[in-house]
A = this chain, B = another copy of it.
Amino acid sequence: MTTSLVNNPTADNQTIIKPNYPRNCWWVATTSEKVGREPLALKMLDMSVVLYRKEDGSVAALDDRCPHRWAPLSSGKLVGDDIQCGYHGFTFNPEGECVRIPSQPQIPSRCRVRSYPVVDQPPFVWVWMGDPEKIVEGPPVEAQWPADPNYSSWSGETLAEGNYMLLKENVLDLTHFGYVHATSFKILDWVGAPTVMVTEDRVSFRQEFIGCNLPPMFAEVTAIGTEKKVNRYNYGSYVSPALNVAALDIEDHEAEAGKRKNFQFRVIHVTTPETPTRFRYMWFGGFDIPDMDPETLQMCKTLTEIGFAEDKAIIEALHRNIMEDPRHLDYPEIIVQTDQAAIQARRKLMAQIEKEKNG
């Protein structure tokens, strides 16, 4: 069913479901802390990849398929900086070259696997799965703040049955707060369309709430409470197919002496497609408050988990509608003002895919 959908790229809305991940792009494999001295098998962009940390602490990423009998290399174990297949012991170095065949001294020159460029930029490990000659310098830098001690952060990961762009579009139109998250985040005053800015490398939105009340989580973390009028500045960006970021600045003009007047809340939305119909969603939330107390941090984490599970549920329901309805993508798609950021992001993505196709 997927196949028939993806081979009919006539409608603009196809972007939300057809194989829509450029390969010439830095994608997040996982969080840095999950890569260690045990082979880690992951699925990314339809491929099986094995990651592990070398003895010097850097990360290797290889095609997870031995060229001998095609077993996953991740079925084996590390030998120094190399990985030994769990079937017959063929061993490969971090560059993907076979360095040992236990049963014979000769190693055929074709005996190698693909090695992927990796950047370990905490909290994420990024992998380049595209054309090595098209590699661009470093992954986006916007996702590094959780490693900054001036921030307290929390995070989570979930596997969603749907196309990853559905999540990216979801976080670019926050008028869903009042419906999807009415009883969790309780941000009920986000009604109108935000200002949208498109630059060469990103799509951003901004919405200001002047003289407003704070939703419960922010009220509690800042100790401002839900009654006092403050200003909220919400903004966010589609940074790349792999990354969306968002932030919420709080401004309390009438802060008492000795109390903070400004707070910043930040969110990272990382999406890594496993297939056109499934993606891993990795997220971080955090405040520019060092050493938040564990109980408050846990409250933030729990609430974020609830809220992002609500997003996942609606996105999966929408995806099922696309897949199971015999009309699939041949269905009206009403675009309104609040969709501007999502539509612009789609266009950027399609342009990137087109460019990749045309070499």
Contact = CB atoms under 8 A, between A and B. Distances in A.
Interface in A192-228: 192-193
B67 A321 contact: no
A88 B46 contact: no
A44 interface: no
B86 A314 contact: yes
A173 B332 CA distance: 46
A89 B178 contact: yes
Given A70-B322, A318-B70, A324-B48, A180 B334 contact: no
B47 A180 contact: no
Contacts of A314: 71, 75, 86-87
B193 A71 contact: no
A298 B67 CA distance: 38
Contact of A326 (B46, B179, B336): B46
A65 B321 contact: yes
Interface stretch (A97-105, A117-125, A246-254, A348-356): A97-105
Interface string A38-65: 0000010011100000000000000011
B87 A180 contact: yes
Contact of A72 (B43, B67, B193, B318): B318
Given A110-B334, A192-B103, A71 B175 contact: no
Contacts of A69: 169, 318, 333
A85 B331 contact: no
A150 interface: no
A230 to B, nearest CB: 23
A265 to B, nearest CB: 23
Contacts of A336: 68, 101, 103-104, 108
Contacts of A85: 179
A325 B48 contact: yes
Given A47-B326, A67-B334, 18 more contacts: A46-B324, A67-B332, A68-B333, A68-B336, A69-B333, A72-B317, A87-B176, A88-B175, A89-B178, A89-B179, A101-B336, A103-B175, A103-B193, A103-B338, A104-B192, A104-B193, A110-B332, A111-B334
B333 A70 contact: yes
A70 B14 CA distance: 13
Contacts of A322: 70
Interface residues of A, number: 53
Given A176-B88, A318-B87, A331 B103 contact: no
Interface string A89-115: 100000000000111100010110000
A76 interface: yes
A302 interface: no
A165 to B, nearest CB: 11
B321 A70 contact: yes
Interface string A315-359: 001100110111000011110111000000000000000000000
Contacts of A176: 87-88
B318 A71 contact: yes
A191 interface: yes
Q: Which of A47, A64, A318 has the most CB of B within 10 A?
A: A318
